[in-house]
Amino acid sequence: MNVIIINNYFKKKNLRRVDKIADALRKLGKYNYKIFHVSDFGEKEILSKAKTVILSGSSASFVHPKAGQPDYRAEVEFIKKIKIPILGICFGHQLIGRAFGSQNQDLGFRVSGFERVEIVEPNEIFSSWGRGCEIVVDQNHRDCLDNLPEGFVLLARSQTCEIEAMKHKRKPIYGVQAHIERATDEKPYGLRVLENFISNVVEREARL
């Protein structure tokens, strides 16, 4: 499987936070991946032979833009046009929302550490649990989506964020606010979400 990871952080290399996604993929036995920085858009064909794209988190903000943060306009256009499965994590989730017309809001405080998330719709990525079940996943964000984008279904919510996870109704596009890649042996739920995405979405699409 060819997985493309888009690094949405400010720096291109040596970023352990993006490596966490790669580590999670390796735990699932998926070693065939490449990492591209957001600034690589327009410079090269990043989708060559790709089966799926994972959008990383970032310390950037659409509500309070920070000095030196990358220009995400090309990535937003890329999200609108992509046809293969895509998974947005934290800021990547917010990028998907932005691509489809959603706005961001500042919560007024930072959500940090493990938090309970309620499954609203046990769709493909939450197929391991039933409606109303709670999973515990790592969070690190201050901004969140203010509204569900048109054409999307709400999959999960929490006490601090109404739109914790979502999916497009017709396209294999998924977003999760939590850092599912930062699962632990004691709290493995995030890794299970990633595994479900690969098994139930990416591998299914590859068979079609």
Q: What is the predicted pLDDT for the residue at 130? A: 97
3-class secondary-structure state, position 206: helix
181 annotated active-site: yes
Tell me which residue of 81, 100, 76 sits closest to 163, measured CA to CA.
100
141 annotated active-site: no
Q: What is the predicted pLDDT for the residue at 87? A: 98
Helix axes 189-196, 16-27, angle to 10 degrees: 70
Q: What is the predicted pLDDT for the residue at 12? A: 76
> Which residues, at least 6 apart from 173, have a Cβ–Cβ distance to it below 8 Å?
79, 82, 85, 86, 88, 96, 167
Domains of the chain: 3-207 (3.40.50.880)
Q: What is the predicted pLDDT for the residue at 44? A: 61
From 90, 115, 161, 164, active-site residue: 90
Determine contact, residues 24/56, Cβ cutoff 8 Å. no
Q: What is the predicted pLDDT for the residue at 183? A: 96
Indicate the pTM of the whole model.
0.95
Residue 113 CA to residue 8 CA, distance in Å, equals 21
From 115, 141, 179, 195, active-site residue: 179
Q: What is the predicted pLDDT for the residue at 164? A: 98
164 annotated active-site: no
From 115, 164, 181, 195, active-site residue: 181
Question: How does 89-102 read in b/e, with b if 16+ C-beta sit within 10 Å?
Answer: bbbbbbbbbbbbeb
Determine contact, residues 90/140, Cβ cutoff 8 Å. yes
Determine contact, residues 132/116, Cβ cutoff 8 Å. no
| Intervals of the chain under pLDDT 70 | 1, 13-14, 42-45
Q: What is the predicted pLDDT for the residue at 70? A: 92
